[in-house]
Amino acid sequence: MTSARLHNARAQRGVATLVVVMVLFFIISLVAAYTNRNLLFEQRTSANQYRSTQSHEAAQAGIEWAVAMLNSGRITTACTPSTSAGDTNFRQRYLTIGANGVISANASASGSVPYLSARCVFNGNGWNCDCPADGTPAPTVPTGAGAFPAYGMRFVSLTGTPPPGVIRLETIACARYDDACLDFNNNEGDEGRTRMAVLVALYSSIKTPPGAAVTAQHDVSGDDTGQAVNSNQAAGGVAIQAGGSVAGVKAVGPAGTPSAAAIVGNDTSLSGLLGASILGGTDASYRMFATYFGLPVASYPLQPGTIVLDDCPCSDTDLRNAVNANPGRPIWVNGDLNIDSSGAVGAASDPVTVIVSGNVTATAAVDLYGVLWGNINGVPATNWTITGPLTVHGAAGSNTSVNVITGASLVYDRDLLDTLRKNSGSFVVVPGSWKDY
């Protein structure tokens, strides 16, 4: 009996050990399952965060891309640079600037969408974009493995009484290209999605247009063949405004007024700018230039919308090509400008700001519509010379002295200058206007 009982006891101890092992195994299985659940949850969270970050960065890229495109030249429907005069630039395609300076977003001509829009999709190396003049954009979507995030953008007119020169820019971005996700009117979708909005404003190429046909901080001189004309009595009728003396240039004011009445010489409001400090400089040119253009000399060519022509002297062909390819953008000429073929530069409906650091010489009849400003870095004793059969419709001026000779004609046009102020310049993001949702 003793041997049988001992055997049974040993057998029972084996069963108890098995029960303990099974309980421990069950507990370990529960821990493993819980750990695996956490890993799956973390993986899904990480994937969602990755897609959310992708769409957020794409939406931000859309904001920056749209602002850059506003400051670009003519483009094709694929949003690439164009040399065709039949193509518009981005701001012309998507925005309309009214006579009061208020900017509105263009609607689809076919009525298929309330506001025109553009879209881009990442192809692995760059972006495929579509900037249609009508209808819904449809960029080429890449195939194969990859996330290929995408964004769409549109402008939205401000309601109420909008301030001049300001428009709302919206972007919507998704972790992958999907028409439903990129639809601004669709608030649902299973993709990582981000919407952003900012206000963008037009920083005018000339903040305060001159009040005379020719403006100089120092003297205005000529050989008695050049003239300055301001027949607009409502605009003051001043043909020449100078901080120094005026001689050798015919001044023509409103009908019935003597020539002397169209001249304001020895104007201390101009000559008194000498030595005044502004924006890091004490030279008169800093103050004089910033008074009219709103920026220091060194900063103006760095604007995103400014076209800079380097390695001049430059020809009228260089200037015309730059003007025609870049509506609404100011032109900065580093050096002399030589005009030797007839024709217009700019137009009354589309004037241009041209800043020339050197002299301007015309050997052919040319009409320039807008503002011609010169010799920005000159010293007071330097004459900025305008020579030849050049007619400026709008205004001309210099931080130094101006020498108008050999038949040059400067004709003041306040309406044209007002059009230039409202339509030309660089678009920038309004600080503090950014939001996402």
> Is the per-residue pLDDT at 108 higher than 50?
yes
Output the pTM of the full model. Answer: 0.85
> Is the per-residue pLDDT at 280 higher than 70?
no
Render pLDDT for 126-157 as a digit per residue (tens, 0 to 9).
Answer: 999 999 998 889 999 988 777 789 999 999 99
Render pLDDT for 170-181 as a digit per residue (tens, 0 to 9).
Answer: 999 998 898 888
> Is the per-residue pLDDT at 21 higher than 80?
no
Residue identified by tokens 């137009």 is: 347
> Which pair of tokens denotes residue 436?
């996402």
Residue identified by tokens 């009219």 is: 292
* pLDDT, position 279: 46
- List Cβ neighbours of 393 (8 Å cut-off, separation of 6 or more): 348, 351, 367, 368, 369, 370, 411, 413, 416
Render pLDDT for 349-405 as a digit per residue (tens, 0 to 9).
Answer: 999 999 998 899 999 999 999 999 987 665 555 789 999 999 999 999 998 889 998
| Mean pLDDT over the full length of the chain | 87
* pLDDT, position 284: 52
Q: Give the closest residue to 344 by CA, choosing from 294, 394, 403, 417.
A: 394
Alpha-carbon span 384 to 337, nearest angstrom: 12
Alpha-carbon span 90 to 327, nearest angstrom: 10
Render pLDDT for 33-53 as a digit per residue (tens, 0 to 9).
Answer: 666 665 655 556 655 566 677
Confidence of residue 187 (pLDDT cuts 50, 70, 90): confident
Q: Give the closest residue to 216 by CA, choosing from 241, 191, 198, 193.
A: 241
Determine contact, residues 279/290, Cβ cutoff 8 Å. Answer: yes
Residue identified by tokens 């002295």 is: 401
- Map the chain to HEC letters: CHHHHHHHHHHHHHHHHHHHHHHHHHHHHHHHHHHHHHHHHHHHHHHHHHHHHHHHHHHHHHHHHHHHHHCCCEECCCCCECCCCCCCEHHHHHEEECCCCCEEECCCCCCCCCCCEEEEEECCCCEEEECCCCCCCCCCCCCCCCCCCEEEEEEECCCCCCCCCEEEEEEEEECCCCCCCCCCCCCCCCCCEEEEEEEEEEEECCCCCCCCCEEECCCEEECCCCEEECCCCCCCCCCEEECCCEECCEEECCCCCCHHHHEECCCHHHHCCCCCCECCECCHHHHHHHHHHCCCCCCHHHCCCCEEECCCCEEHHHHHHHHHHCCCCCEEECCCEEECCCEEECECCECEEEEECCCEEECCCEEEEEEEEECCCCCCCCEEEEECCEEEEEEEEECCEEEEECCCEEEECHHHHHHHHHHCEEEEECCCCCEEC
* CB burial of residue 226 (10 Å; 0-12, 13-18, 19+): buried
* pLDDT, position 288: 82
> Is the per-residue pLDDT at 290 higher than 80?
yes
First to last CA, the chain: 84
